Amino acid sequence: AQSVTQPDIHITVSEGASLELRCNYSYGATPYLFWYVQSPGQGLQLLLKYFSGDTLVQGIKGFEAEFKRSQSSFNLRKPSVHWSDAAEYFCAVGRAGANNLFFGTGTRLTVIP
Amino acid sequence: NAGVTQTPKFQVLKTGQSMTLQCAQDMNHEYMSWYRQDPGMGLRLIHYSVGAGITDQGEVPNGYNVSRSTTEDFPLRLLSAAPSQTSVYFCASSYAGQGVYEQYFGPGTRLTVT
């Protein structure tokens, strides 16, 4: 069975500081991994995705994530956080041929000036 | 190109009432799905469809019905609302097939059942 764990419920960082949001997945085959962002009162927007190939993927808004098969992780990073990055971030896992995604419980990011 | 649209944005129901949450997409996507979002639980899949006339249950289907008569529309019906169905509901769509495709989400419907 597929599952996703986001161990940090809430993270607070200062504007300009670096950010890493953790995501661990459980899946027997090659996973397909996604990070979505949800701003308050909004729907979900795709930040980036990993299907295959280079394990470091670049996304929108300056975000990147690294797939580490040995650690079953897909952590999201940003070198310098902006106040507009305050939002909730969801990691999700899927597989080829099945469109359903399994989501983590989310990490809420607060950015302080 | 409007993407995925949902109506209404907000709804308050009394226990036992029924209603339909509307979802439409104009991207000709085969796959459509409904999720509910609850605090601390992320998004959980309610029902999904891989094409017109085909629907299936997700993780939390009880209390909800769906049908897919056209490619564009995928309504979610609450037959007899319960307070446990208070949640934010998201509809999503994507291409279907052997690949894995990005899902596009609607803006959500916030439902309160009293």
pLDDT tens digits along A91-104 = 999 877 777 889 99
The single-letter DSSP state of residue A28 is S
For residue B98, name the pLDDT band (cuts at 50, 70, 90).
Answer: low
Rounded to whole angstroms, the Cα distance separating B107 from B66 reads: 19
- Mean predicted lDDT score pLDDT of chain B: 93
pLDDT tens column, A59-83: 999 999 999 999 999 999 999 999 9
Rounded to whole angstroms, the Cα distance separating A25 from A89 reads: 15
Alpha helices in chain A, H assignment, sequence order: none
Q: Which residue of A has its CA nearest to B91?
A: A43
Of the candidates B49, B58, B42, the residue with the CA atom closest to the CA atom of residue B23:
B49
The answer to whether A13 faces chain B, any CB pair under 8 Å, is: no
Rounded to whole angstroms, the Cα distance separating B69 from B51 reads: 9
B chain contacts of residue A49, beta-carbon cutoff 8 Å: 102
B chain contacts of residue A103, beta-carbon cutoff 8 Å: 35, 42-44
Of the candidates B31, B27, B24, the residue with the CA atom closest to the CA atom of residue B73:
B24
Q: Which residue of A has its CA nearest to B58?
A: A100
Rounded to whole angstroms, the Cα distance separating B31 from B93 reads: 5
Which one of A6, A46, A103 has the shortest CB-CB distance to B43? A103
The single-letter DSSP state of residue B73 is B
Q: For a pLDDT cut of 70, what percent of chain B falls above it?
A: 96
For residue B102, name the pLDDT band (cuts at 50, 70, 90).
Answer: confident
pLDDT tens column, B19-46: 999 999 999 999 999 999 998 888 999 9
Mean pLDDT of A46-70: 93
How many Cβ atoms from other residues are within 10 Å of residue A70's Cβ? Answer: 5
Among B91, B100, B101, most A C-beta atoms within 10 A, so best to mutate, is: B100
Rounded to whole angstroms, the Cα distance separating A102 from B49 reads: 16
